[in-house]
Amino acid sequence: MPFYRDHIYPQLVKVLGDPKPIREVRERIVPLAEGRVLEIGVGPGVNFVHYDAVRVTKVYALEPNAGMIRLAERQRRRTTVDITFIGLPGEQIPLEDRSVDTVLSTFTLCTIPGVVEALRGVRRVLKPSGKLIFFEHGLSPDPRVRRWQEWSEPIPHWLFEGCHVTRDIPSLIEQSGFRIEQMETAYLAGFPKSWTHCWWGTAIPHDDNAHLDPR
């Protein structure tokens, strides 16, 4: 439904996607970004005002939804950070290999259909010395909450354009060639508990040569 996707869904995310507990985490993790940054799934641009303009030289804002971009354009005017919107014309992120210092993903990995392939694309554009900053929601460690997640998943999947509340995001990050450096987890926001189990932290690319004998 293009009308829902391009008009109603962006407004829904704008209204519901940044309550105080989530905004407080954004305020802590987004300033960790530095250098050339790729933000995947920028949505209505709520992260833009939290970038440190002294540490960040450029932000490539990847967002395929035209309605989201219209909202994010307003947020771009609230910051001095150099932000350029980029689309997703094919299956690959339209940036060169090893060209960014930081990748930021907030509440995006739950919706991408081929999430492991997307994360491998993130790893491709990230410098070996770079980092992935993530803030995502998904699979609860509590079996009772998991049952509710499995039962209710069709609702957020429809409301939020393919959102999965049963994904184990840290495992998917590690499967995609990253090592998680640090991570926190909690239930956040005034939504159903089954939709708000969150993780946030940083991950770095695995060293492809780590298995080699250094001698």
Name the pTM for this structure.
0.90
Name the band, by pLDDT with cuts 50, 70 and 90, for residue 7: low
Q: Where are the alpha helices (DSSP H) in the chain?
A: 2-3, 9-16, 20-29, 66-76, 115-125, 143-152, 154-159, 169-175
Neighbours of 53 (CB within 10 A): 10
Q: What's the pLDDT tens digit per position in 127-166?
A: 999 999 999 999 999 999 999 999 999 887 877 767 899 9
- For the chain, state the CA radius of gyration: 17
**pLDDT higher than threshold 50 for residue 212:** no
Position with higher pLDDT, 194 vs 46: 46
Say which DSSP state 194 is in. Answer: G
Residue 180, CA distances (Å) to 17, 63, 105, 133, 186 in order: 25, 25, 14, 10, 17
From the number of C-beta atoms within 10 Å of its C-beta (0-12, 13-18, 19+), residue 156 rates as: buried
Specify the pLDDT at position 8: 59
Which positions ≥6 away from 147 have C-beta within 8 Å? none
Decide if 198 contacts 137 (C-beta within 8 A): yes
Decide if 103 contacts 40 (C-beta within 8 A): yes
Q: What share of the chain is helix, strand, coil (3-state, %, to 5)?
A: 35, 25, 40
Average pLDDT over residues 108-127: 93
Say which DSSP state 64 is in. Answer: -
Specify the pLDDT at position 80: 95
Decide if 110 contacts 149 (C-beta within 8 A): no
Name the band, by pLDDT with cuts 50, 70 and 90, for residue 214: very low
- Short-list 123, 25, 97, 102, CA closest to 59: 102
What structural domains does the chain harbor?
2-204 (3.40.50.150)
